[in-house]
Amino acid sequence: MTAKQDGKTIEAGPVLELIARIEADLGRLKAMVEGEVAPFDPANPRNKSLDGKLTEEGAECCYRLFDEGKSRYSVARQMKISFAAATHRFNTWRKIGGAKRKRTLLG
């Protein structure tokens, strides 16, 4: 099978083989990357800065727990933060749209 583009004849067979190889390589790469992505850990020390406040990643982790329907008490225990801090994050989570908010990536 051949195709013409800009006055040039292109053989479809080699092009289709190349596309198949690229797709296979992308599939392998995707499998490698997906295997390394760990679920978020509420107790991860990187969730807090040296002064004990939540980092951006910690706040996102907290918000994701609220997305799952966890209570402020449950979030406080899982994140190892005070109930007052969990309440503050819960109110912020509601202000930014609750479960409909735009999620950020966890690193």
Q: Which two tokens stand for residue 78?
A: 């899982």
Residue with tokens 């599939």: 27
Alpha carbon distances (Å) from 53 to 3, 6, 8, 64: 61, 61, 63, 17
The pLDDT value given to residue 86? 95
Sequence spans of domains, the chain: 2-36, 45-100
Going residue by residue through the chain, which has 107 residues, state the pLDDT in tens, using 9 for 90 and above. 666 667 778 788 888 999 999 999 888 887 776 655 456 788 888 889 888 899 998 999 999 999 999 999 999 999 999 999 999 999 999 999 988 888 877 66
9 has which bridge partners? 4
The pLDDT value given to residue 2? 67
Q: Which two tokens stand for residue 16?
A: 């289709």
Q: What are the backbone dihedrals phi and psi of residue 96, each rounded to the nearest 5 degrees, phi first?
A: -90, 10
Q: Which two tokens stand for residue 94?
A: 């509601």
CATH of the domain spanning 45-100, picked from 2.10.260, 1.10.10, 1.10.20, 3.40.50: 1.10.10
Whether this prediction's pTM lies above 0.75 is answered by: no
